[in-house]
Structure 1
């Protein structure tokens, strides 16, 4: 079956709509389908976006249901339930697993060829859950992982060194969360390693770099404390990932994937740089890590394994 240039978004909350706006404004797709349990909300969001066509260009946006996703090349999942007062993290995970079980069954029936992009948090756990619940190959189920953390990291390094963040090559790997791992050993600006180097008049300062990383790791907490949620930057991340898939760009991005033995890790999903194209994850591109970074990845995997304990996948 030929997959059309159509993108579906399941969940029209803050993140789903930020993604929809970015996809629309950047004309990543010619047809965007919004799906939400609150059909009227999805309809209102679709109408609102459609009124901007004269400023952006012709992009069809409509509210739909699962059968309408049958021609989608990519489907983004931002749906999930919020934590109730007094509810444990495991209880919340199991309720979100139940939501994903329903979504997986519907998508396997109506859109079995589509690539799924998982953005619901905790993204590594729910990517792992979807890979177990869906019948499609795991390389066609991609979590946004540490793409946002990596973007924050590069932006902070660009600011520190006074350069365009697009000239910074550095990754955050592992969990999208508190155990994430900064990969200093391969971080570069314009091809020059930042470790023990002077770049644009700035010497490498290990303490300053640690403070910079802590700012990256705690960024979501800082934003939530001010506005209540994060959505704009992850919306841009989602639209970029979707474009990479639809255009078969073969870009290397740090996405949530089953490492399948890479770094000696298995049984969880966490972020490793991967080549992404039309068929999803085409290969892992695992950088050589120093011992401290490798231990960080192992610790991150342990954190995720503990989080999976008690999750009802059957």
Structure 2
């Protein structure tokens, strides 16, 4: 991997999420080169011109319209391409059969370029497409990272912070499992200022009560649908999450982030990508952190993993039949 001073990121997919990530990336100065690939080349051309107008107000960066050949010496390839969720209740898992063939083609072109960096996957359904990226690329699992439950965990922290009237940055809280309808909150590990959440419970916020915790978790789980129904897509939050993962990689932060990582005898699961805290550094996923779950939480994890495993088996079988 290149040193931070000349780190290169290639973004594949210049839709709403890709554009939001690109803007956040430019403004925060993560990396020194940002190349953008999309089938809509006019959109990429316009975004490159627009983004470079922000460079007088941000750290120096070379922004350019890229091709797959430019992936050869990239440190990170970010995937945001694919067909997005539609308003009206379409789930992330509904997108599997639409996006798997697209991903297989894109990954093949990236690998053929000679790329040997780290994949960061944000396209939905992210856990399954991260698994597909690992399988299609043949890369080591530590070099294939999905955004997983990073956005869900951020939403979780926001809601807990609202309930307590504290800064979300002072809340440590993780959503685990699928980035989607079977995700769950690991309430047994929620900390505020380093203290267990129960110490902050009152008769008003009821944060020590199961019903109140389930209410918050349900809101977090369904927040994406509220955003999609309101404005058509979610992109600011996930764009920030992608950039945070890239920063941890390029700065070798060894930061603990909730991502989609391959489980290998973790949480009583194996051979599946799913949302969990992991240490992220210059080598990608440097360690999966397995939280000690309650019996109820372990049941949720089993349910989430089993639901995704069934869809992976069915979708890959359909792909092979084509």
Corresponding residue SS for 2:31: coil
In structure 1, what is the Cα distance between the partners aligned to 2:303 and 2:311? 13
Q: CA deviation at 1:204?
A: 3.2
Alignment of 1:265 onto 2:304: no
Structure 1 pair 201–59 and aligned structure 2 pair: CA distance change class (3 A):
same
Change (3 A) 1:228 1:310: same
The CA deviation at 1:94 is 3.2
Could you say if the C-alpha distance between residues 88 and 7 of structure 1 is closer, same or farther in structure 2, counting changes exceeding 3 Å? closer
| 1:93-132 deviation digits (Å, cap 9, x = unpaired) | 2342211111111111224311000000000110111111
Q: 1:125 aligns with which of 123, 128, 132?
A: 128
Cα distance, 1:210 vs structure 2: 2.0
The alignment status of 1:12 with 2:14, answered yes or no, reads: yes
**Quick check: 1:72–1:111 contact (8 Å CA) kept in 2?**
no
Pair 1:102 & 2:105 matched: yes
C-alpha RMSD of the superposition: 2.3
**Aligned 8 A contact 1:161 1:200 in 2:** no
- What is the 5 A alignment of 1:29-44? 29-44=31-46
Show the counterpart of 1:226: 230
Q: How is 1:225-244 mapped onto 2 (pairs within 5 angstroms)?
A: 225-244=229-248
Deviation of 1:161 (Å): 0.8
Structure 2 counterpart of 1:73: 75
Q: Equivalent residues in 2 for 1:198-237 (5 A)?
A: 198=201, 204-206=207-209, 207-237=211-241
Greater share of residues in helix: 2
Residue in 1 that maps onto 2:280: 276
Cα displacement (A) at 1:185: 0.6
- Once the two structures are TM-superposed, the CA of residue 83 in structure 1 deviates from its matched residue by 7.4
User: In the alignment, is residue 310 of structure 1 matched against residue 314 of structure 2?
Assistant: yes
Residue 150 of structure 2: which of 144, 147, 150 is its match?
147
TM-score by length of 1: 0.93
Of 246, 251, 260, which residue of structure 2 is paired with 1:247?
251
Q: How does 1:115-194 map to 2 (within 5 A)?
A: 115-194=118-197
Distance in 2 separating the partners of 1:2 and 1:152: 33
Deviations 1:204-229 (A, max 9, x none): 34232222221111100011111011
Which range moved further: 194-203 or 149-158? 194-203
What is the SS of the residue equivalent to 1:29? coil
* Gaps in structure 2 of 5+ consecutive residues: none
Partner Cα distance (1:138, 1:108) in 2: 15
**Deviation for aligned residue 1:309:** 2.9
SS of match in other structure, 1:145: coil
Deviation at 1:2, TM superposition (A): 4.3
CA deviations on 1:2-39 (whole Å, 9 max, x unpaired) are: 47401110000000000000000111121100001122
Q: Is the 8 A contact 2:184 2:217 kept in 1?
A: no
The 3 A distance-change label for structure 1 pair 283 and 308 is same
- Is the CA contact (8 Å cut-off) linking 2:93 and 2:124 kept in structure 1? no
Give the alignment's TM-score, normalised by structure 2. Answer: 0.91
Q: CA deviation at 1:92?
A: 4.7
Distance 1:251 1:14, change over 3 A: same
CA contact (8 A) 2:126 2:179 kept: yes
Task: Give the C-alpha shift of residue 135 in structure 1.
Answer: 2.0
Greater shift in the superposed pair: 46-55 or 13-22: 46-55
